[in-house]
Chain A
């Protein structure tokens, strides 16, 4: 019942939006009708918002993605690689690369691109520290007699 109400409100918004577009597209605009439609549209949008807006409608540009976003994992690993242990750097980096490849391919939501990039950059920095430490140890071993 609750879901039906939301769907009805969403359908009403679409109808009103179309009527508003038609009214605004006419050569001689009926300002009174446009104002009425705008008022009705806002009232319906507010009603939909009050219902919680939890229903996932297919707005333009919104898709069902093949893979769930792993941005949280990449960001967590990236932060851990910098704050806790550099060992996790290469893992965060490569996981971030894979996640960005999925975003670019349209397999994962692009909404989380920022988080993935942040985690990936943290992983790259941590890997640089790790490589630096490895290089320092290597040169130290070379100079030991």
Chain B
């Protein structure tokens, strides 16, 4: 139950970020962009993780700045859609569908593929 609540809060945060990108004042947008969740992996290694830049890319997508979003993360819409779908399944209590068949391997494979392509594309 707590995991579902956390997923719901996370989904609301994503919706709020999109809304701030679309309608929020510039001060709010800069606050979210500069003070978003810090990435420990990037801080330690200097390399971006598969999700680095997604907060700013979500803001840009909310504002309709697709070019900027693709600059920040080459797969921003795909990653965002994937996260939203997974959060939706968790909130709906259908986590078992995430574990069925080869989906766990597919999820991990997708994360790894995005990461490798991200590092290659820069």
A interface residue numbers (CB < 8 A to B) = 67, 70, 73, 76-77, 80, 82-91, 93-95, 97-99, 123, 127, 129-131, 133-134, 136-137, 140-141, 144
Contact = CB atoms under 8 A, between A and B. Distances in A.
Enumerate the 4 nearest inter-chain pairs by beta-carbon distance, A residue then B residue, closest first.
Answer: A73-B104, A133-B37, A94-B3, A98-B95
Interface of chain B, main secondary structure: helix
Contact of B7 (A67, A70, A94, A137): A94
B96 A141 contact: no
Nearest to B7: A90
A134 B9 contact: yes
A84 B47 CA distance: 10
A113 to B, nearest CB: 15
B22 interface: no
Given A130-B37, A144-B27, A98 B96 contact: yes
A130 B28 contact: no
Given A73-B107, A144-B27, A98 B39 contact: no
Contacts of A91: 86, 90, 98, 107
Given A73-B105, A91-B86, A127-B3, 12 more contacts: A73-B108, A82-B40, A84-B39, A84-B49, A84-B50, A85-B50, A88-B111, A90-B90, A127-B6, A130-B37, A140-B31, A144-B31
Interface of B: 3-4, 6-7, 9-10, 13, 20, 27-28, 31-32, 35-41, 49-52, 54, 83, 86-87, 90, 95-96, 98-99, 104-105, 107-108, 111
A94 B40 contact: no
A139 to B, nearest CB: 10
Nearest to B8: A90
Given A84-B49, A131-B6, A99 B40 contact: no
Nearest to B105: A73
Contacts of B104: 70, 73, 95
B23 to A, nearest CB: 13
Contacts of B49: 84-85
B61 to A, nearest CB: 16
A3 B36 CA distance: 59
Nearest to B79: A87
B30 to A, nearest CB: 9
B36 A137 contact: yes
B9 A131 contact: yes
A144 B96 CA distance: 42
Given A73-B105, A77-B108, A95 B32 contact: no
